[in-house]
Amino acid sequence: MGSEQLHITLIQPDIVWENKAANLQQYEEMIGGVKTPKHVVALPEMFSTGFSMAPERLAEPMEGETVTWMADMASKYRCILTGSLIIEEDGKYYNRMLWVQPDGRVGFYDKRHLFGYAHEDKHYTKGETRLIAQVNGWRINLMVCYDLRFPVWARNQGEEYDVLLYVANWPEARSLAWRTLLQARAIENQCYVVGVNRVGKDGKDIVYTGESSVFGPLGEKIWQQANDAVAHTVTLEKGELQQVRTKLPFLNDADKFLLL
């Protein structure tokens, strides 16, 4: 039996450029300050460093300090901790989104669509498979930033998942696309969509206004926050999702296809 409710805490920080210690300390304080119930705590893309193209200096193995810290936080606060960081494995670098459970088990999704505009594809290896994680009967499809622009990769074929979760470093210059595409993904997939972004300025003077957002299965805006660093918990309702899918069974009429 699953839970009718899912509590997701969105952490929208001002990431300190390439300073892991400062960032992890910041997150520990932000997570510790959340007094509401939380099943999942979501950090942004490359949460420990910012969106850096220097994996040679910054990458860690899966046994490294940041993954260990995530496991410690998940255990301490009895929640699932997720977000992406720079991982080195078999001589390759990945923008890897981890799903760290309180019991120490770790799942991961490697970012599929690498951001060629910033030469991410020159430094990192793309992922090949999706990860639909589960918590309390809820199915959550994990995605990273630029994946948002590619709807086929996120397509809900039938009712594969209930929540699309995007973690990002999405700049202010393209914030209209961020808001619009998050809402569109919710409508077309009849699911909740959660987008977790950052604020502040990175080491390349790129400005971020956050606008972390939660949209419902009809595209309705449940929560959105711009400009401020914040930790905020939203509660998603399984009954509302099921009601929409039953009343408006649009997913049944979708084209069938395989991702090869």
Which one is catalytic: 38, 111, 120, 211?
111
* 92 belongs to the catalytic site: no
- Give the right CATH number for 5-253 from 3.40.250.10, 3.40.50.300, 3.50.50.60, 3.60.110.10: 3.60.110.10
* 79 belongs to the catalytic site: no
* 145 belongs to the catalytic site: yes
How many residues comprise the chain? 260
Which one is catalytic: 20, 79, 120, 145?
145
Would you write out the chain's pLDDT as a tens digit for each of its 260 residues?
467 999 999 999 999 999 999 999 999 999 999 999 999 999 999 999 999 999 999 999 999 999 999 999 999 999 999 999 999 999 999 999 999 999 999 999 999 999 999 999 999 999 999 999 999 999 999 999 999 999 999 999 989 999 999 999 999 999 999 999 999 999 999 999 999 999 999 999 999 999 999 999 999 999 999 999 999 999 999 999 999 999 999 999 999 888 76
Q: Where are the domains of the chain?
A: 5-253
Does the pTM surpass 0.95? The reply is yes
